[in-house]
A and B are shown apart, each in its own frame.
Chain A
Amino acid sequence: MKVALTGNPNSGKTTLFNAITGKIEHVGNWAGVTVDKKEGDIKKSLNKSSLSMTAVDLPGAYSMSPFTSEENITRDFVKNEKPDVLINIVDSTNLNRSLFFTTQLLELGIPVVVALNKTDMSRKKKTVLDVARLSKALNCPVVETVSTKSSQNGLEELILKVVEVRGSAQSVPYISEKVDFSQAQSVQSSDRRRYDFVKELVGKVETRKIKSNQQTRQDAVDRVVANKWLGIPVFMLVMWSVFSISQTHVGPLFADILVGWIDGFYVLVESLLGGDVSPVLKALLLDGIIGGVGAVVGFLPLIMVLFFMLALLEDCGYMARVALVMDRFFKKVGLSGKSIIPMVIGTGCAIPGVMATRTIKNERQRRTTAMLTPFMPCGAKLPVIALFAGIFFNDAAWVGTSMYFLAIGIIILGALIVVRITGEKNARSYFILELPEYRFPSFKRAAVSTMSRAKAFIIKAGTIILLCNAAVQIMQTFNWQLQVVAEGAENTSILASISSPFAFVLIPLGFGAWQLAAAAITGFIAKENIVGTLAVVFSITNFIDTEELALISGSADVAGIMGLTTVAALSYLVFNLFTPPCFAAIGAMNSEMGDKKWLWAGIGFQFGMGYVASFLTYQIGSLFSTGSFGQGFIPGLVLVSTLVGYVVYLMKKGDSKTSLKLSVSAKGV
């Protein structure tokens, strides 16, 4: 049997779903975390019946008339797929609004069980609820639940009730008389009566000690963190601590230990192989597979700490406040405050980040946000940042932090350009967002989510990244005649001949070596590959603990091996961070944009932006550090000017569209 979880946004559907199925779907304390439906089998320990039960988690909706596209999913599923039972998760701190949707669900003819969730929070506010009376008035079972708790959470009783009501016919407590759905007036007046019914009902079953429009401590906190002047510094401080803890303080501590183990493993395998194995095979196994994958896995602790910190951030309720603070700035560049949420999620991984754009109502804002979110350095780019900061900048914290702020700068610039090209400079859209209550973030939930993401990372390292590194190792060992390339003739390898043409284009950016081009190319498969490929092509196995490098590669000077100046290294970092994301994220962009023209424009824009930013970094940096421009300045300048000129042309064209639209609307009036 199929059980669908429905309810208002942020009522705790996914938390309840995770609790009854044992799955680890993404949760957060703001409206609109879940944008797609998820399925899972209900745990045997909860399901006392002999039936097999599947739960379907649906995106939150305020009513059966959808407003955003993810609400459509909910309505369509409930109406078309006919689940056997609906669990309606009701936020017990906001019955007045939630029960409106409940009354709509009760009319569908599918048995409903109400899960009165977050009862710990309503109890804390000393709100008393008459559950028996509520159940009687609604004509359906009502179970009190606290899905964040692991025991005595009411979930067993909930599932019991679900089995009980299956196939039963519940009589509708409130019958909306014949509604003519083609008449907006008729729908509205019936909905109004529905609200009257809810209001009367809540008046009977709820006794509040604190009136909901009273000022609370929560509101006082809002006045600080979302303050006109303090809002931005607070946000910067929060993000800075997230990154400095993961990248400079706690992360590297664990990374050192892990890298020690990986090196030990390398040495162990080397001794096991002995001297009889062919050198080609030995190099493939040691340098290609263990070295390449090890270089990537070594950064796992940094990524895990980052994921942990982000999970805490998403859990406490701060995200909605960031959207509030950013709204007025993002509005100026044609985006919405909601655009910041995908970007913050994007610092973990661009794919869920891009998917989170679905809660943005305005199509152009949604597509622009999907196009710009991947500029935010994701968890997979973290190893690249950490690597370059470690090797070339002596682990300076400013390198990582400045990359995030550069990303924000690029996003704002990108948004400005897009809004002018589309000619919607004067388009206005409303902003409304629910402010969830703050709560102390759960370390357990954050740890669980971190472990599941770490697992995904390890699987990725053991599959895609392993294969890529092996392929890179093979391609650099052999030439096109399939002979092993001689020492000193590395330029004749398959890998070198494929990546050399690309390297040529990269000369004006300061890194025209084929090895670096190859790493940038494999980065499109997965960004972690950049580190893996660099490890393979330069035969370096350890990027983190450079003291131990001497043991393995015979040199402590990774920077020397790569042959990059500090400025060129920064430029290479900028290039890898701000060119298009990995293919998987491009796929997510494709599905959220739903338009090929936007997709290709987006990818083109990302390439152009990465190239220009990298060019400026290298050439201006060179001018300051050496007194003259770097290599390939003139041809690079020609290319960059062409790119910029084309964008300016498109913007001018967009402007004329704007004035055209204005004159049309002027005539309309």
Chain B
Amino acid sequence: MSNAYANLFENENTFFKTLSEADVNVEYVIQDIDTEDDEMKSFLFSLGCFKGETLTVISILAENFVISIKDGRYSIDSDLAEVILI
């Protein structure tokens, strides 16, 4: 447990910004999905949202982010946008 937390603080993620700080219409490369929720992580994976892939924020609506991954459009909330590092 303590190791995992130590890793969290030491890893390079702190240098990246999160998707919630992204600009609209700019293509970003995903650097990491920073969550302990493994199910969500693998779900995002099955949509094509994982490290190394690109995504674009299409618009920000009602505290939600409309994003383009692969050839699909998804709406995600700001909590989820926080864990996608770009």
Q: Which residues of B contact A96 (CB under 8 A)?
A: 48, 70-71
Asked if A666 is an interface residue, CB under 8 A from chain B, the answer is: no
Determine which of B42, B62, B80 lies in contact with A432 in the assembled complex, contact meaning CB atoms within 8 Å.
B80
Q: Could you mark each residue 21-51 of chain B with 1 if its beta carbon is under 8 Å from any beta carbon of chain A, else 0?
A: 0000101000000000111101111111010
Say yes or no: B62 contacts A63, CB within 8 Å: no
Q: Which residues of A contact B58 (CB under 8 A)?
A: 213, 215, 219, 222
Closest Cβ–Cβ distance, residue A288 to chain B (whole Å)? 52
Q: Which of A33-41, A320-328, A496-504, A529-537 contacts B (4 or more CB under 8 A)?
A: A320-328
Number of interface residues of A (CB under 8 A): 43
- What are 26 A-B contacts defined by CB distance under 8 Å? A67-B39, A67-B42, A67-B43, A93-B71, A94-B71, A96-B70, A97-B47, A97-B69, A97-B71, A100-B48, A212-B71, A213-B27, A213-B56, A213-B58, A215-B58, A219-B73, A228-B62, A320-B75, A325-B61, A327-B62, A328-B63, A361-B39, A432-B43, A432-B75, A432-B80, A433-B74
**In the complex, which residues 461-495 of chain A have their Cβ closer than 8 Å to any Cβ of chain B?**
none
Say yes or no: B46 contacts A67, CB within 8 Å: yes
Asked if A95 is an interface residue, CB under 8 A from chain B, the answer is: yes
Q: Output the nearest chain A residue to B45 by Cβ-Cβ distance.
A: A191
Say yes or no: A432 contacts B76, CB within 8 Å: yes
Say yes or no: B75 contacts A430, CB within 8 Å: no
Q: Output the nearest chain B residue to A230 by Cβ-Cβ distance.
A: B62
Q: Which residues of B contact A195 (CB under 8 A)?
A: 48, 50, 53
Q: Interface centre among B43, B59, B62, B74, by most A CB within 10 Å?
A: B62
Given the interface pairs A93-B71, A212-B70, A231-B62, the reply to whether A192 lies near B50 with Cβ below 8 Å is yes
**In the complex, which residues 248-268 of chain A have their Cβ closer than 8 Å to any Cβ of chain B?**
none
Closest Cβ–Cβ distance, residue B31 to chain A (whole Å)? 15
Say yes or no: B42 contacts A328, CB within 8 Å: no
Q: Which residues of A contact B83 (CB under 8 A)?
A: 430
Q: Interface centre among A62, A192, A231, by most B CB within 10 Å?
A: A62
Closest Cβ–Cβ distance, residue A284 to chain B (whole Å)? 57
Number of A-B residue pairs having CB atoms within 8 Å of each other in the complex = 120
**In the complex, which residues 69-101 of chain A have their Cβ closer than 8 Å to any Cβ of chain B?**
93-97, 100-101
Say yes or no: B42 contacts A434, CB within 8 Å: no
Say yes or no: A219 contacts B75, CB within 8 Å: no
Asked if B13 is an interface residue, CB under 8 A from chain A, the answer is: no
Q: Output the nearest chain B residue to A208 by Cβ-Cβ distance.
A: B71
Asked if B12 is an interface residue, CB under 8 A from chain A, the answer is: no
Could you tell me which B residues sit within 8 Å of A by CB distance?
25, 27, 37-40, 42-48, 50, 53, 55-56, 58-59, 61-64, 66, 68-77, 79-80, 83
Determine which of B62, B64, B72 lies in contact with A94 in the assembled complex, contact meaning CB atoms within 8 Å.
B72
Say yes or no: B64 contacts A222, CB within 8 Å: no
Closest Cβ–Cβ distance, residue A184 to chain B (whole Å)? 7
- Kindly state the separation between the CA atoms of A494 and B42 in the bound complex, as whole angstroms: 61
Closest Cβ–Cβ distance, residue B50 to chain A (whole Å)? 7
Closest Cβ–Cβ distance, residue A481 to chain B (whole Å)? 65
Closest Cβ–Cβ distance, residue B76 to chain A (whole Å)? 5
Closest Cβ–Cβ distance, residue A534 to chain B (whole Å)? 43
Asked if A399 is an interface residue, CB under 8 A from chain B, the answer is: no
Q: Which residues of A contact B69 (CB under 8 A)?
A: 97
Given the interface pairs A212-B68, A324-B64, A435-B75, the reply to whether A219 lies near B59 with Cβ below 8 Å is yes
Say yes or no: B74 contacts A434, CB within 8 Å: yes
Say yes or no: A223 contacts B61, CB within 8 Å: yes
Asked if A65 is an interface residue, CB under 8 A from chain B, the answer is: yes
Say yes or no: B64 contacts A219, CB within 8 Å: no
Q: Which residues of A contact B70 (CB under 8 A)?
A: 94, 96-97, 212
Could you tell me which A residues sit within 8 Å of B by CB distance?
62-63, 65, 67, 93-97, 100-101, 184, 188, 191-192, 195, 212-213, 215, 218-219, 222-223, 226-228, 231, 320, 323-325, 327-328, 331, 337, 361, 428, 430-435
Q: Interface centre among A96, A432, A433, by most B CB within 10 Å?
A: A432
Q: Which residues of B contact A191 (CB under 8 A)?
A: 45
- Kindly state the separation between the CA atoms of A226 and B63 in the bound complex, as whole angstroms: 10
Q: Which residues of B contact A62 (CB under 8 A)?
A: 43, 46-47
Q: Which residues of B contact A100 (CB under 8 A)?
A: 46, 48
Say yes or no: A428 contacts B79, CB within 8 Å: yes
- Kindly state the separation between the CA atoms of A213 and B74 in the bound complex, as whole angstroms: 12
Say yes or no: A432 contacts B61, CB within 8 Å: no
Say yes or no: A432 contacts B46, CB within 8 Å: no
Q: Which residues of A contact B73 (CB under 8 A)?
A: 218-219, 434-435
- Please give 17 more A-B residue pairs, beta carbons under 8 A apart, in addition to A231-B62, A433-B74: A94-B70, A100-B46, A212-B68, A213-B27, A219-B66, A222-B58, A226-B64, A226-B66, A324-B66, A325-B61, A327-B63, A327-B64, A327-B75, A331-B77, A428-B79, A431-B75, A433-B75
Closest Cβ–Cβ distance, residue A196 to chain B (whole Å)? 10
Q: Which residues of A contact B77 (CB under 8 A)?
A: 327-328, 331, 337, 430-432
Q: Interface centre among A361, A428, A433, by most B CB within 10 Å?
A: A433
Q: Output the nearest chain B residue to A361 by Cβ-Cβ distance.
A: B39
Closest Cβ–Cβ distance, residue B78 to chain A (whole Å)? 9
Q: Which residues of A contact B76 (CB under 8 A)?
A: 430-432
Say yes or no: B80 contacts A95, CB within 8 Å: no
Q: Which residues of A contact B46 (CB under 8 A)?
A: 62-63, 65, 67, 100-101
State the 3 A-B residue pairs at the shortest beta-carbon distance, nearest first: A63-B46, A213-B56, A96-B70
Closest Cβ–Cβ distance, residue A237 to chain B (whole Å)? 16
Q: Interface centre among B25, B40, B58, B75, by most A CB within 10 Å?
A: B75
Determine which of A67, A95, A97, A226 lies in contact with B61 in the assembled complex, contact meaning CB atoms within 8 Å.
A226
Q: Output the nearest chain A residue to B5 by Cβ-Cβ distance.
A: A669
- Kindly state the separation between the CA atoms of A605 and B9 in the bound complex, as whole angstroms: 46
